[in-house]
């Protein structure tokens, strides 16, 4: 989180944005008053119903929310049949965000397809590019517009890996497409969610192993920067900041 915070602050500074940082959604309505852009990254904290209502009003009035990676997470509960496993809980902030996290297999390489090339956050990007990252299995909300996709017919997670889910609601009708980026319009504003963005250092690495496409033998890199060192992803972040400033 510290590494990503620095990268995001650097991008905002370069764009000439005056930025504040918070580790909670307390008083979010008051703090967003008169501001153009909200950026979020982690799975917690997450906004409660009252805070979601304040965010919804801000978006409706023209605010723009650029949400990354863990934002689609939130509260996880222990599975009674296996106290070591957890399952995500659907909450009001998933409806507001437009995406709900189910699980991700071990870090792997995969192709990203730009589904909505006309959107300004994809200016200068090719129609597809490859990344190494956590491939999030995301259930998009019905009123969300797909922005990025990939193909993964089946969750390749080994038994006992990751989160438990009752049904794979991230797979699309063709049986292979997964949505990794969404936009949900709210009144005059909009929230964009991009599922990419895992990073870890030795002190906070929780990856027991990775896919062979990332490291031979599945040995987890002690430091992993993934898309934060990828030119295409960096362009998306820079474009998103410009997109917000265009309000």
Say yes or no to pLDDT of 246 above 80.
no
Counting residues of the chain whose pLDDT is more than 70, the rounded percentage is 100
CB neighbour list of residue 204: distance below 8 Å, 6 or more residues apart: none
Stated pTM of the model: 0.97
Mean pLDDT to the nearest integer, 62-67: 97
Q: Binning pLDDT at 50, 70 and 90, where does residue 201 land?
A: very high
How much is the pLDDT for 247? 62
Helix axes 231-245 and 2-14, enclosed angle (nearest 10) = 50
How much is the pLDDT for 141? 97
Say yes or no to pLDDT of 81 above 80.
no
Say yes or no to pLDDT of 132 above 90.
yes
Say yes or no to pLDDT of 124 above 70.
yes
Q: Is the Cβ–Cβ distance between 71 and 45 less than 8 Å?
A: no
Say yes or no to pLDDT of 225 above 90.
yes
> Distance (Å, rounded) from C-alpha 144 to C-alpha 140?
6
Cis ω on the peptide bond leading into residue 45 (within 30° of 0)?
Answer: yes
Give the fold, CATH level 3, of 2-245: Rossmann fold (3.40.50)
Instruction: Lowest mean pLDDT of 91-105, 155-169, 233-247, name the range.
Output: 233-247
> Distance (Å, rounded) from C-alpha 72 to C-alpha 89?
11
Mean of the per-residue pLDDT values of the chain: 95
Say yes or no to pLDDT of 244 above 90.
no
């Amino acid at each position: 989180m510290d590494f990503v915070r620095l990268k995001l602050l650097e991008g905002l500074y370069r764009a000439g944005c005056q930025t504040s940082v918070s580790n909670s959604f307390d008083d979010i309505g008051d703090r967003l008053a008169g501001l153009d852009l909200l950026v979020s990254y982690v799975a917690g904290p997450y906004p409660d119903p009252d805070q979601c209502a304040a965010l919804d009003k801000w978006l409706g009035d023209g605010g723009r929310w650029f949400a990354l990676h863990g934002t689609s997470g939130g509260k996880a509960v222990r599975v009674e049949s296996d106290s070591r496993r957890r399952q995500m809980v659907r909450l009001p902030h998933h409806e507001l965000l437009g995406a709900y996290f189910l699980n991700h297999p071990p870090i792997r390489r995969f192709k990203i397809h730009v589904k909505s090339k006309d959107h300004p956050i994809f200016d200068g990007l090719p129609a597809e590019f490859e990344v190494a990252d956590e491939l999030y299995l995301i259930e998009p909300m019905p009123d969300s517009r797909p922005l990025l996709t990939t193909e993964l017919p089946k969750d390749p997670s080994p038994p006992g890996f990751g989160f438990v889910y009752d049904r794979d609601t991230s797979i699309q009708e063709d049986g292979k497409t997964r949505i990794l980026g969404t936009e949900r319009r709210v009144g005059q504003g909009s929230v964009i969610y991009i599922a990419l963005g895992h990073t870890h250092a030795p002190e906070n690495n929780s990856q027991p192993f990775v896919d062979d496409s990332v490291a031979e033998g599945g040995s987890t890199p002690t430091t992993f920067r993934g898309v934060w060192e990828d030119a295409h992803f960096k362009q998306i972040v820079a474009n998103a900041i410009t997109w917000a400033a265009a309000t």
